A = this chain, B = another copy of it.
């Protein structure tokens, strides 16, 4: 294969973007030394990605490409968007190579990329569903994910190129992008109207622009954002409304997230990418407004998004049902991606807070601790019936977790003229390039997320600022030491502690952020959560699961004076800090005689009775025997 030398594995490459405040860090320059993340990342490589590959073969997803290139004769198999699962596997596997070169994986990747490339049509078109008998249907129904698949193909190509320097898939991507640029756009330019029913192509095209420098791609991405919001998508055959597709209000006028949550959040990612290039303030205003709406009225305490199963999307403000939370794992990934983009353009730590929240509580719950099964929806309350599955007919979530895990090192730090910015805490060894070209070696040691004690060792002598994110969950009482001496650092307006000095090799910065258990209440308009609290500690949301209690969790309330003790259990759920406290028994199942409704005064007065209770991190639920689970616990 052709390779180019000049490739750097940035997750998204904003290094030349004019409207960002940070420089990204290459994935291969941060090496985790952290058990928590190394376990997940090892599992991603050894369990998740191989299984996803084999399932893609088993279910005909790769055969669909072989069929399209004429290598086999067979009917198309599965859903019309199944190509995207293969592309997302290619993307995730490519990023894995960045941190962990592996000839076998690279060879497998090349073979899959060959199948993809061979399926491309002479004119650049590529979608295995719209072949042969369905060729006439190309671009006739924008809800059939042609552009969504194209977008994931481009992102796979970007990842493969950035990881390996090889251009085979990138060439496929540019050919298809050129095809789309020629055909779609403003009618005044002699082109045809088009929109992606499921946004994704927007962020892909911006990245392709960043690699190639071809403004056509950026312009096409802009077109796809600009054309939206005029009810132009034909929804007559979909059983959906225009709002499901974010097509009722022009993007720049949108005030809240609407419709299908993954579509909504991917669209915002694309718009944020465009903003990073253009700096158009109306885009930023819309992104800010939607972010405020999300955080203050539309988001689960876990960072999960999506309140309605029937549209896999947003409901009204404050509509956040727990048991039927839709909270698709992909929407958690989208939330993470959107906040990364907003962090890069603003430098505000609140976006990194949201990344951290979504990562631990909306993305990680999506996989079992053994990496063998996945959640599509992540409810905040359950009776024990919701269990992870090995795979889905609509299998978008597994590869979305995989590409997040594979790229994680790229999200921990950024750099700027002022120095190094630490966004996500976790043990690692990093070599970070300041904008002036100077390479800085730095290590981070911590038991995060179990402890807020984080120790940095500076391994390069240089003057620069070390900017440490002050987490949104921080409640004071932190201690920061340099070489053992307590300091009182300033805090930037964007909420980072500043430790700025001429560093010597071996300088130690210690950050100790207390992690008391927090009882979180929610706005009274979230009626389901009235009189309840969610337990949090550090970045983690906790839950009660039946298996850890002596009675069903649905019978437990918290005395308002309850204090929790945290304790690390090395053998539990791969090693977690659990929270121990006392619960009050609200009622007795027997009192109910299996009735659904009873007059309140028909119950005998009950003696106050308490039981020890134990809460575990929400991400780790449903990894043992099935039983009820609750995040929001009534307080008495």
Residue of B nearest to A319 (CB): B323
- How far does the Cβ of A611 sit from chain B's closest Cβ, in whole Å? 14
Instruction: Report the Cα distance A308→B311, complex, angstroms.
Output: 12
The answer, among B519, B594, B601, for a CB contact under 8 Å with A600, is B519
Instruction: Report the Cα distance A530→B523, complex, angstroms.
Output: 17
Instruction: Report the Cα distance A316→B387, complex, angstroms.
Output: 14
Q: Is the CB of B554 within 8 A of A592?
A: no
Q: Is the CB of A531 within 8 A of B634?
A: yes
Q: Is A525 an interface residue (CB 8 A)?
A: yes
Interface digits, A39-74 against B, CB 8 Å rule (1 contact, 0 not)? 000000000000000000000000000000000000
Q: Is A407 an interface residue (CB 8 A)?
A: no
Q: Which residues of B contact A123 (CB under 8 A)?
A: none
Q: Is A597 an interface residue (CB 8 A)?
A: yes
Interface digits, A292-306 against B, CB 8 Å rule (1 contact, 0 not)? 000111010100000
Q: Which residues of B contact A531 (CB under 8 A)?
A: 531, 557, 586, 634, 636
Q: Is the CB of A524 within 8 A of B321?
A: no
The answer, among B310, B527, B554, for a CB contact under 8 Å with A323, is B527
Q: Is A383 an interface residue (CB 8 A)?
A: yes
The answer, among B317, B381, B598, for a CB contact under 8 Å with A520, is B598
Q: Is A528 an interface residue (CB 8 A)?
A: yes
Instruction: Report the Cα distance A521→B606, complex, angstroms.
Output: 15
Q: Which residues of B contact A316 (CB under 8 A)?
A: 383, 385
Instruction: Report the Cα distance A315→B530, complex, angstroms.
Output: 23
Q: Is the CB of B383 within 8 A of A525?
A: yes
Q: Which residues of B contact A528 (CB under 8 A)?
A: 321-323, 528
Q: Is A8 an interface residue (CB 8 A)?
A: no
Residue of B nearest to A326 (CB): B310
The answer, among B530, B555, B598, for a CB contact under 8 Å with A521, is B598
- How far does the Cβ of A598 sit from chain B's closest Cβ, in whole Å? 6
Q: Is A533 an interface residue (CB 8 A)?
A: yes
> In chain A, residues 498-529, which have Cβ atoms closer than 8 Å to a Cβ of chain B?
518-528
Q: Which residues of B contact A315 (CB under 8 A)?
A: 324
Q: Is the CB of A475 within 8 A of B587?
A: no
Instruction: Report the Cα distance A315→B385, complex, angstroms.
Output: 11
Q: Is the CB of B321 within 8 A of A324?
A: yes
Q: Which residues of B contact A295 (CB under 8 A)?
A: 596
Q: Is the CB of B586 within 8 A of A524?
A: yes
> In chain A, residues 349-394, which have Cβ atoms closer than 8 Å to a Cβ of chain B?
381, 383, 385
- How far does the Cβ of A93 sit from chain B's closest Cβ, in whole Å? 32
Q: Is A26 an interface residue (CB 8 A)?
A: no
- How far does the Cβ of A58 sit from chain B's closest Cβ, in whole Å? 20
Q: Which residues of B contact A297 (CB under 8 A)?
A: 596
Interface digits, A525-567 against B, CB 8 Å rule (1 contact, 0 not)? 1111011011000000000000000001011010000000000
- How far does the Cβ of A555 sit from chain B's closest Cβ, in whole Å? 5
Q: Which residues of B contact A594 (CB under 8 A)?
A: 296
Q: Is A595 an interface residue (CB 8 A)?
A: yes
Q: Is A318 an interface residue (CB 8 A)?
A: yes
The answer, among B385, B525, B530, B555, for a CB contact under 8 Å with A524, is B555
Instruction: Report the Cα distance A310→B531, complex, angstroms.
Output: 28
Interface residues in chain A, defined as those with a beta carbon under 8 Å from any beta carbon in chain B: 295-297, 299, 301, 308-310, 315-319, 321-324, 381, 383, 385, 475, 518-528, 530-531, 533-534, 552, 554-555, 557, 586-587, 589, 592, 594-601, 603, 628, 630, 634-636
**Inter-chain pairs besides A297-B596, A319-B323, A524-B555, 18 sampled, C-beta below 8 Å:** A295-B596, A296-B595, A308-B324, A316-B385, A318-B596, A319-B383, A321-B324, A520-B599, A521-B598, A521-B603, A522-B596, A524-B586, A524-B587, A524-B589, A525-B554, A525-B628, A530-B634, A531-B557
Q: What would be 6 A-B contacts, judged by CB atoms less than 8 Å apart? A: A309-B309, A318-B596, A319-B323, A321-B323, A322-B527, A521-B597
